[in-house]
Amino acid sequence: MVGVTIAGIMNMNHFSDDPESGSNRSENNVLRVYNPSDVNPTLVDPSIQDKTKDHTIGDFSFLNQLGDTITKESVTGKIFVTDFFFTSCGGICPKMTTQLQRVQREFSDDPNFLILSHTVNPSRDTVATMFKYAERFEANAEKWWFLTGEKKELYLMARKSYLIVPDEADPNFEHGGESDFLHTENFALIDPEGRIRGFYNGTDPNEIDELFRDVYDLKREYKLD
């Protein structure tokens, strides 16, 4: 894993609920749409680093903790939060997953909201292993999917769709330990059209509070209230 904070790598454009704030969030607030050119190139596949518009997540097919196949079609039309972790991680991963528990509780009754947690250690994180980890964090398998699959496909999703992990060949990062490839503490917020609408430090409760507000803004934008 790598300790890269969101604030240090993204040009964030969040808003405040403080009435005295110059960037106060209004009921008409619309979240920005992120494209690869907006993101630190360290976290983006070189083939798309210069893309300035129309970025959406690519097709995928992974297995969740129940052994069900999850594809892009499974999330189309939904708002979802995504991250990358591994089950034997003893550092930031439990903190990230604990924050995602908060997210699950906040939107537990929302049929238009999902959480996707991808492993970076698919050689170890089998469906059975992911099931046990999901149980540990009381994940609702209908709302929160712990995904495993082919390492190459997981890595491409992280680098070419969600834009939240470093290059596995980057010499500036230590690529040791148990994971098959590096991950960060980054969460990404995806809208019903498959576009990135926010990035968050998944270990920071304040950032997750901001994520809550952003999800409600998306719900209003897409009339999903």
Report the CATH number that the domain containing residue 74 is assigned in CATH: 3.40.30.10
If one counts the domains in the chain, the total is 1
The answer to whether residue 132 sits within a structural domain is: yes
With b meaning 16 or more CB within 10 Å and e meaning fewer, what string describes 195-218?
Answer: bbbbbbbbbbeebbebbebbbbbb
Confidence of residue 181 (pLDDT cuts 50, 70, 90): low
Nearest Cα residue to 40 out of 194, 222, 170: 170
How far apart CA 225 and CA 217 sit, in angstroms, is 10
Asked if residue 129 belongs to a domain, the reply is yes
Rounded percentage of the chain residues whose pLDDT exceeds 90: 72
pLDDT mean across residues, the chain: 86
Cα(119)–Cα(155) distance, integer angstroms: 10
The domain containing residue 134 runs over which residues?
6-17+25-221
Is residue 1 situated within a structural domain? no
Can you give the pTM of this predicted structure?
0.87
